[in-house]
Amino acid sequence: MSRHGSGARGGWFEDTGDSDLPLFNDQRPLTGPFLTFFSVISNTMRPPSLPVLRLAGCFLALLLATPQPILARQPSEPRVLLVTAHPDDDALFAATVYRITHHLNGKVDLALITDGSGGYRYSTLAEPIYGRTLTDEAVARQYLPAIRKQELMAGGSIVGIRKYFFLDQPDLRYTLNVDSVFSDHWDAEFVWDRLGAILEEGAYDFVFTFVPLPETHGAHKGAAISALRAVNRMPPENRPVVLASFIRSASETTPLDFTELPGYPLTRLNKEIEPFSFDRNRPIGIGGRLNYKIIVNWLIAEHKSQGTMQLLMNRGDEELFWVYAMNGPDAEEKARAFFNRLNTDP
Ligand SMILES: [Zn+2]
């Protein structure tokens, strides 16, 4: 993603720079008031008396004897498929994925279309790590696909990705032309068929893609279009809701200047629905000193062969998701319920 996606559209994907600094400046050890608080709690708690214990026992027996409708209503566990072109592209939705797998107990799988071997130009810093001259194209074509899969799965283990589907299409070169990606780079029919089989088997609720912006890499556009085509081939009742994602900085206030990619009507976004979002600055942990940017940074750090990707650490505040117009009439309701759960505490 980094070598071709960053910086596109100004504030979209750009960051305000030092918005995180107060968090880092305010990291104090858990001493003083925290230790005092715990010691007060333990000192004031006395063993309960016998009548109190009997009463508690009766209450427990009553609870066990009563039907428990709340326990029977298990929360749904959403199933999500990410469809990406390159092994580091899932950083775009890393915070959302972590939240799905850790907060909703959801299942997230990833279909990776290319072998990632074209990402060797900024592999300089990874050469001593892997003991290969990865900036040499011939070396990269041989070794980088395996290295990048390893990096992807290391990052995926952090955010909780369950399964990977590697379609291993050639990652030939940078181009904006998605038609050439379909005609010259990939076996497009194989990609659509394979995605169709993955979708059918996985019975997903949602599919995440990039917003197929005209100025983004043709492979990013190709991945989104392939996912949309594969979903569009499914019986309507089995189709997941397909969403288009992009990152926005907190300082960005202008709406996304994109509705559809010319020549690809399936890529049309339903702009009447405001994008759904997950905030990477959402606090986690004691005192709210931690947030989801840490997790995104961990994932990015795993992609050591992708030098410029590292420069995206701490950038981007919101992961936004638009509903494609090709989705069924209940897509908005499903997406709204999903993101409401995602954004509900704890
Ligand atoms: Zn990419």
Residue 1 Cα, ligand 1 centroid: separation in angstroms?
Answer: 3
Q: Which residues crowd ion ligand 1, with CB under 5 Å?
A: 1, 86, 89
Measured CA to CA in angstroms, residue 11 lies from 18, 75, 95, 251, 275 at distances of: 15, 37, 19, 7, 16
What global pTM score does this model have?
Answer: 0.80
Weakly modelled stretches of the chain, pLDDT under 70: 1-75
The Cα angle at residue 122 between residues 120 and 125, in degrees rounded to 5: 105
69 preceded by a cis bond (ω within 30 of 0): no
Residue 128 Cα, ligand 1 centroid: separation in angstroms?
Answer: 24
Residue 96 Cα, ligand 1 centroid: separation in angstroms?
Answer: 18
Residue 219 Cα, ligand 1 centroid: separation in angstroms?
Answer: 7
Residue 75 Cα, ligand 1 centroid: separation in angstroms?
Answer: 34
Looking at residue 204, its pLDDT comes to 98
Residue 33 Cα, ligand 1 centroid: separation in angstroms?
Answer: 47
Looking at residue 124, its pLDDT comes to 97
Residue 94 Cα, ligand 1 centroid: separation in angstroms?
Answer: 14
Question: Please, what sign has the CA dihedral across residues 234, 217, 95, 115?
Answer: positive
Residue 102 Cα, ligand 1 centroid: separation in angstroms?
Answer: 25
Residue 114 Cα, ligand 1 centroid: separation in angstroms?
Answer: 10
Residue 119 Cα, ligand 1 centroid: separation in angstroms?
Answer: 9
Query: Which domains can be identified in the chain, with CATH numbers?
Result: 2-26+78-342 (3.40.50.10320), 33-69 (no CATH)
Residue 86 Cα, ligand 1 centroid: separation in angstroms?
Answer: 5
- Compute the distance between CA of residue 310 and CA of residue 90 in angstroms, rounded to an integer: 14
| CA nearest to 314, candidates 335, 334, 333, 295 | 295
How many residues can be counted in the chain? Answer: 346
Residue 61 Cα, ligand 1 centroid: separation in angstroms?
Answer: 57
Residue 172 Cα, ligand 1 centroid: separation in angstroms?
Answer: 12
